[in-house]
A and B are shown apart, each in its own frame.
Chain A
Amino acid sequence: MTSFQEFKNQALSLINGWNEWCWVTHRQRVDEDGYLVLKLYKNKANCILTSTTSSSIRNDDNQIEDNDIDMSIVDSSVNSNNNNNNNSVDQDTDIHIYEYHVIFSRSYQVPVLYLNVYKKDSTVLSWSDIWNTLPLSKYDSSSHNIVPYFSQVEHPILGIPFYQLHPCETPNLMKQILSVSKEEHDDEDNNNNNDTIENLQQYFLSSWLSIVSPLVGINIPLHFLKYMSNK
């Protein structure tokens, strides 16, 4: 993957087959801008929320006056404690929002995964809490030390702290994968060698995502795999 434009093209075509991803741009009329965003909502058991429950809603249509609103603000230090110990019945607080960004790195010339996880009220989960929910942490359980594939960095566009899956191994990994598939293709067809390499390059992003996703808790939808195999 040698240019931002290539990344963008592949990203937009990826969204066609996997429409949970969004393409987000930040500046108008700047060509080299934009990245992929995926938000997953998971509950405490770390399952992506999809199941069906019915709830009965009763709208309370009473007009609210100033006095009806309890504006009491507890001393902030006390309040923050309260907040942690609050055994609230609100299931929202159990929801973890996983925000995945895929941003093109010009220096490594590869897509880079960024991750942040927070609750509905914006409380950000600690790294150890996040790490333990990532399947990657299970791969690592055999070794004595926790292997950190992640570092905390400033989000290159938002400027706020995000966790970055370090890109330094990505080029090697992709070289291997693409060369393996290239050999397979070569066996089938020796005539179109150059075409094959180009063809494979155009699946850089989706190939990489299909390797990385399971490690970081993104389920690849079946329909996307079908979509890929049709291509």
Chain B
Amino acid sequence: MATTNNIIQYKEFSSLANVSFWHELSSKKLDVLKLKEDPLPVNAYYSYSTSQQLDPFLCLEYNSFLLTKSQSSNNNTTDRYFEPPTRSFLSNGILYNYNTAEDFKQSPKAKLFEDASKQIWNDIKSGNIEKDPTLLNRFIVLTFADIKNHQFYYLFGIPALLPTQPFETIAPTVTLEETYNEQQIQTLHSSLQSSTLPFFLIKNNADSSISVGSIDQWDSYFNDIEVPTVGFCDPCALSSNPGWPLRNFLLYLSTARPNVKKVRVVCYRANIKVSGEQTISSIVLTVALNSNTEWSGKSVGWEKDTNGKIAPRFISLASTMDPMKLASQSVDLNLKLMRWRVMPSLDLETIKETKCLLLGSGTLGCNVARCLLSWGVRNVTFVDSSKVSYSNPVRQSLFNFEDCTPKAKEKSVAAAESLKRIFPAVNATSHVFSIPMPGHSVSASQEEAVKSVFENLEDLVKKNDVIFLLTDSRESRWLPTLLARYHNKQIINAALGFDSYLIVRHGIREPNANESDTGAANLKGQDLGCYFCNDVIAPTDTLKDRTLDQMCTVTRPGLSMMASAIAVELMISILHHPIKGRAQAETETDIYAGASTPLGIVPHQLRGFLSHYQTMPLFGHPFKHCTACSDQILEEFKNRGWDFILQVLNDSTCLTKIAGIDNLNQEDVNIDWEIDLSDDDDDEKDNE
């Protein structure tokens, strides 16, 4: 008589619901189920284990909601059916999805589990198992899908029906090699290699060969044999325990074959050579069957959580389902492709971290923002005081008709919103104010308001790394030029004429930490002229500017895209220079001498002429009497702050005095505050 030590202990299944399964459940819930709580048929599979450290898995995947061909009622040949992968075996299940956490908690778990158990028992009693042995492998899964947060709770039950008396082994467990010779094992492997039979019979033939058959061949296989040999595809890899499918199979055998007292069970573990070159060895049990054995009415097989308690498991798939996270990751990897393909030294991290302030949200502002976005810049702040008008959307690439009506949106606000719609991970903010301008006098009643605008602007300049000057008037560029110069921030200035444009990177006073006069040529820093230096230093250029300025209200539509793109690319080049904005101004000749950055040269100014399709890199020294960037002006600002600014706003003529221009030949001086530089455009001025 066997002792209780011989009671077979089975390795339970552990559920493995793949990401693709939860994706499928989400879309099922959204598109098909909606609020219905109907039970859904699902199909899972199990395979041979490749490691003793691995639990036997019951796998659910993208196709688990498909029916098998035999489950399907119609014979439409174009239908997709569930098929387990090769060397895997079917397990039929039912999914109960609940719409609320409360319903999930209150679900009749024990009853659903018992229903599944009864179904298995009915199939055993009715003989259905002979036709379809996979019916022994039923399971249920209860889910609560919190679609909004991409979170799922689930509880698996894989019922094993308990017999009235537990099954025991009556001989030591041996290996397959101890039971069969090499030839026979080869036959076993080749018979089962592409088999879909989870349970099978093995017959020893008279010529010492073996045959493998399905369980409905019992009578022809085991006529008059005292100890028949059966087998099952065992997902367990342990050396002394069989896997879960054997439990219901033994109950089936003892019920369907009441005359059999003993059975030999091959726990077949395939012949998969894993990468470590070891194979998991199959084992052979000898089991006593008792003809009085029946189902006790009890069954076990609830899956435990990670703490070993029977409780729902939880999975959050935000990282693969949250569109925000997906978009960010995709954008990053896509940019890295450029680094891999073309330029290993591309510094995407610095670009991503660079904070950009866009002064002006018209054509230039919109196009600059879009180009920054394509480069992976994540921090963009828009400043503009005007509203989106009907003529804007066709040229200003961040706006559309809805931004004009029923109520016109502020441009900066609409631009930031639009940028976020394009790419939600971008940090886009907006400010609505007009930049204080020299000569635009401030009345006593406005003073506080203008002062706070000034403070806000100074704060923005301090907080950002690169300031794009994209406003539509020359005067509005003065204060940002001064502030950026004072706080050592990079300005990139873009201005448009009818068919020409000018991009200038303003010089930076403070030397860069990497600068050195003795080191490599590209480590020697240089200060450069600003937009206003140009005017006075080169009167002939000012004439060119005039053609640019006077045509301000109309520009060729493609021009803004070109100028914006060049402005952004210039910033990218600066960021790749070892001493950034202090990089020496390079021109065409430097291209041949060997450029200072992996992206090429870092010019000071770019002047483009659409009439002859040309862009020229130019260079200008800082003008020591510049009304915006000279030391005298900065010194005055340092000493008097807002008082100085207010004075200039009320009377711009003080600038030439402070800068020292009044001492120069008056003919060389040409400051015309009234000349407009366009940001495009057909904007009504009264919007400002």
Report A's interface with B, CB cutoff 8 A. 19-20, 22-29, 37, 40-41, 43, 48-66, 68-73, 76, 79-80, 83, 86, 88, 90-93, 95, 97, 116, 118, 120-124, 126-127, 143-152, 158-161, 166, 168, 218-223
Contact = CB atoms under 8 A, between A and B. Distances in A.
Contacts of B155: 69, 71
Contacts of A118: 18-19
B326 interface: yes
B56 to A, nearest CB: 11
Given A83-B314, A221-B277, A93 B53 contact: no
A158 B19 CA distance: 11
A152 B571 CA distance: 28
Nearest to A75: B101
A71 B311 CA distance: 6
Contacts of A76: 146, 149, 151, 316
B273 interface: yes
B179 interface: no
Contacts of B110: 64-66
Interface stretch (B283-291, B327-335, B378-386, B428-436): B327-335
A83 B341 CA distance: 39
Contact of B320 (A86, A150, A161): A161
B310 A158 contact: no
A220 B276 CA distance: 9
B345 A71 contact: no
B85 A73 contact: no
Contacts of A152: 326, 329-330, 333
Nearest to B334: A151
B77 A123 contact: no
Interface residues of A: mostly helix, strand, loop or mixed? loop
Given A57-B10, A63-B299, A123-B316, A160 B53 contact: no
Interface of B: 9-12, 14, 16-23, 50-55, 62-63, 77-81, 83, 85-87, 101, 104-105, 107-110, 113, 144, 146, 149, 151, 153, 155, 162, 166, 238-241, 272-278, 298-300, 302, 306-320, 326, 329-330, 333-334, 336-337, 339-341, 344-347
A145 B54 contact: no
Contacts of B162: 61, 63
Given A43-B53, A71-B105, A148-B336, A122 B17 contact: yes
B80 A41 contact: no
Given A20-B272, A55-B238, A62 B316 contact: no
Nearest to A24: B85
Contacts of B312: 71, 73
A23 B277 contact: no
A221 to B, nearest CB: 5
Given A121-B315, A150-B333, A51 B344 contact: no
Contacts, number: 218
Contacts of B314: 73, 79-80, 83, 121
A171 B78 CA distance: 35
Contacts of B238: 54-55, 57
Given A26-B80, A59-B12, 9 more contacts: A22-B85, A50-B51, A64-B310, A80-B316, A145-B347, A160-B62, A161-B320, A219-B276, A221-B273
A58 to B, nearest CB: 6
Contacts of A28: 77-81
A92 B17 CA distance: 13
Contact of B52 (A26, A51, A65, A150): A51
Q: Which of B54, B87, B302, B308 has the most CB of A within 10 A?
A: B54
Contacts of B341: 168
Contacts of B272: 19-20
Given A28-B79, A83-B316, A158-B62, A48 B146 contact: no
A64 B239 CA distance: 29
A151 B333 contact: yes
A92 B55 contact: yes
Contact of A48 (B17, B104, B274, B310): B274
Contacts of A124: 19, 317, 319-320
Nearest to B155: A69
A172 to B, nearest CB: 13
Nearest to B337: A151
Contact of A122 (B19, B108, B239, B334): B19
A148 B340 contact: yes
Contact of A88 (B306, B333, B337, B346): B306
In the complex, the 9 A-B pairs of residues with the closest C-beta atoms, listed nearest first: A50-B276, A148-B336, A49-B51, A219-B275, A71-B105, A70-B311, A88-B306, A90-B306, A57-B9
